[in-house]
């Protein structure tokens, strides 16, 4: 029997995952993702600080020529008789296919087509953009539209700029944005002059379709997205740090590098200048059913990412002293944000501090069959809730708002 099959049987349809850490050379870590203080630069100064933890990922990080082997890819942990073995979640899904992610997703995508992450920066990210299907295909990639949610357990410190920039201010011309791109190597290209800022509120989030310029602020962010890491940086200076020009052309076909019209083509203009971004892109939590009904059953569950057909996410709270059975009609990855207890056959707990390379009991992947059968979750605490974030693939059959 293969390791993947043994691990799936051992977890009764639930796979335990190891933490996956990813550095970014253009960011300063916000130090809220529970990594040990000595380990944020453990990969070396030339790689930058570790400011991201990737969750349920079968997507390799696109981090330049120094990218490590399997960087960004989640590993399954299998332990038997005191011996521990790890293997990639991607390899397990490639082998067991619908037995893990369900026939619906496997038959359509031949893969797990999303992942999630925490990104955690002291300052805002530069204005950047994710390519749509057409433009991503030009470089052999898939599109990468994300959504964001600001989990309260990781947003106790707001850091340098707790506002998110989204879209382009109505009235801006294409010529003005193109001039910013042409001026990328001349210091501050002043792209923020033409953007809109919104204050970030813990517990809420934003949907960011492909083709939309955005610059996430300095709160630690949970970000479900399609299975891709394609992007381009359109802002040249952020927090007094210069962004390398190579990141402006990241995602551009080689024969069009230097062509600013190509950069403009990536921008979905109508989407960016929409004056109703708060109405169309903002996401406040939405209960999956009446709150009083859920509380009577011992839990509260909210949709937190729900505007994209490419993925969705929920926040599940199991109240103190309660045991509940939670059913979903799709597989999902999950991360424990608060509390401790049992999740199916697994002990779960929220680590306070994690060393680089250390295993944890806070991240799992739930197969479709286990999700349909229902996961029994027990909270032994008389005071502390269990809080779990759950990220789902495309066309979630339960997502009816």
pLDDT, one tens digit per residue, over 53-70 is: 999 999 999 888 889 999
How many CB atoms within 10 Å of residue 272?
24
pLDDT, one tens digit per residue, over 78-99 is: 998 888 999 999 999 999 999 9
Instruction: For residue 186, name the pLDDT band (cuts at 50, 70, 90).
Output: very high
Instruction: For residue 45, name the pLDDT band (cuts at 50, 70, 90).
Output: confident
Helix axes 89-96, 3-10, angle to 10 degrees: 90
Give me the domains of the chain, ranges plus CATH numbers: 3-283 (2.60.120.10), 286-392 (2.60.120.10)
Average pLDDT for the chain = 95
**What kind and span of H or E run contains 16?**
strand 14-18
Q: How does DSSP classify residue 338?
A: E
Tokens standing for 297? 């059953």
pLDDT, one tens digit per residue, over 157-182 is: 898 889 999 999 999 999 999 999 99
Residue 15: pLDDT above 80? yes
Residue 227: pLDDT above 80? yes
What local confidence, expressed as pLDDT, does residue 27 receive?
A: 84
Tokens standing for 73? 């890819």
Q: What percent of the chain has pLDDT over 90?
A: 89
DSSP E strand boundaries for 209-292: 214-215, 221-222, 225-226, 232-233, 237-238, 241-242, 282-283, 286-287
Least confident of 118-122, 295-299, 301-305: 118-122
What local confidence, expressed as pLDDT, does residue 241 receive?
A: 85
Closest-CA residue to 269 (of 167, 142, 166): 167
What local confidence, expressed as pLDDT, does residue 187 receive?
A: 94
Residue 401: pLDDT above 80? no
Alpha carbon distance 174, 34 (integer Å)? 42
How many CB atoms within 10 Å of residue 111?
18
Alpha carbon distance 362, 47 (integer Å)? 26
pLDDT, one tens digit per residue, over 243-259 is: 999 999 999 999 999 99
pLDDT, one tens digit per residue, over 203-225 is: 999 999 999 999 999 999 999 99
The three-state DSSP-derived secondary structure of 137-165 is HCCCCCCCCEEEECCHHHCCCCCCCCEEE
Rounded to 5°, angle at Cα 328 from 398 and 32: 95
Tokens standing for 350? 């929220």
Arithmetic mean of pLDDT, 233-239: 94
Half-sphere exposure at residue 26, Cβ-oriented, CA atoms within 13 angstroms: 20
Residue 294: pLDDT above 90? yes
Q: How does DSSP classify residue 46?
A: G
Q: Edge-to-edge, what's the strand order for the sheet holding 286-287?
A: 83-88, 75-80, 14-18, 363-366, 332-338, 386-392, 312-318, 299-305, 286-287
Alpha carbon distance 130, 118 (integer Å)? 17
Instruction: For residue 304, name the pLDDT band (cuts at 50, 70, 90).
Output: very high
| φ/ψ (deg, to 5) at 228 | -160, 160
Q: How does DSSP classify residue 300?
A: E
Tokens standing for 29? 């870590």
Residue 296: pLDDT above 90? yes
What local confidence, expressed as pLDDT, does residue 25 receive?
A: 84
Alpha carbon distance 144, 129 (integer Å)? 9
pLDDT, one tens digit per residue, over 139-162 is: 988 887 899 999 999 998 898 889
Arithmetic mean of pLDDT, 327-339: 98
Distances (CA, A) of 49 to 35, 122, 149: 11, 11, 22
């Amino acid at each position: 029997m293969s390791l993947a099959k043994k691990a799936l049987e051992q977890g009764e349809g639930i796979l335990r995952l190891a933490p996956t850490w990813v550095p970014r050379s253009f960011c300063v870590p916000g130090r809220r993702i529970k990594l040990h203080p000595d380990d944020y630069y453990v990969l070396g100064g030339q790689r930058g600080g570790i400011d991201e933890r990737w969750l349920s990922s079968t997507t390799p990080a696109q981090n330049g020529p120094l990218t490590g082997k399997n960087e960004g890819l989640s590993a399954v942990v299998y332990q038997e008789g005191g011996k521990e073995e790890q293997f990639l979640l991607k390899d397990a899904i490639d082998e067991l296919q619908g037995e893990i992610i369900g026939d619906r997703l496997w038959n359509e995508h031949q893969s797990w087509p999303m992942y999630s992450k925490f990104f955690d920066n002291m300052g805002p990210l530069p204005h950047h953009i994710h390519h749509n299907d057409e433009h991503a295909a030009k470089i052999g990639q898939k599109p990468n539209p994300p959504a964001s949610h600001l989990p309260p357990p990781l947003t106790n410190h707001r850091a340098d700029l707790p506002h998110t920039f989204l879209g382009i201010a109505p009235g801006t011309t294409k010529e003005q944005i193109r001039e910013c791109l042409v001026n990328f190597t001349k210091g501050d290209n002043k792209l923020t002059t033409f953007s809109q800022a919104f204050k970030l509120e813990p517990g809420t989030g934003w949907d960011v379709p492909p083709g939309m310029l955005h610059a996430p602020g300095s709160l630690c962010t949970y970000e479900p997205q399609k299975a891709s890491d394609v992007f381009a940086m359109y802002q040249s200076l952020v927090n007094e740090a210069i962004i390398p020009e190579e990141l402006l052309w990241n995602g551009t076909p080689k024969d069009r590098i230097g062509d600013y019209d190509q950069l403009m083509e990536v921008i979905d203009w109508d989407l960016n200048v929409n004056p109703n971004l708060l109405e169309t892109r903002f996401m406040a939590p939405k209960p999956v059913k009446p709150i009083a009904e859920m509380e009577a059953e011992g839990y509260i569950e909210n949709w937190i990412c729900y505007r994209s057909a490419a993925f969705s996410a929920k926040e599940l709270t199991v109240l103190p002293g309660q045991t509940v059975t939670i059913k979903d009609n799709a597989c999902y990855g999950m991360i424990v944000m608060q509390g401790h207890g049992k999740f199916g056959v697994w002990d779960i707990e929220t680590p306070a501090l994690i060393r680089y390379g250390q295993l944890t009991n806070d991240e799992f992947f739930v197969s479709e069959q286990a999700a349909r059968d229902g996961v029994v979750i027990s909270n032994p605490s008389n005071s502390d809730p269990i809080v779990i974030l759950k990220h789902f693939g495309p066309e979630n059959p339960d997502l009816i708002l």
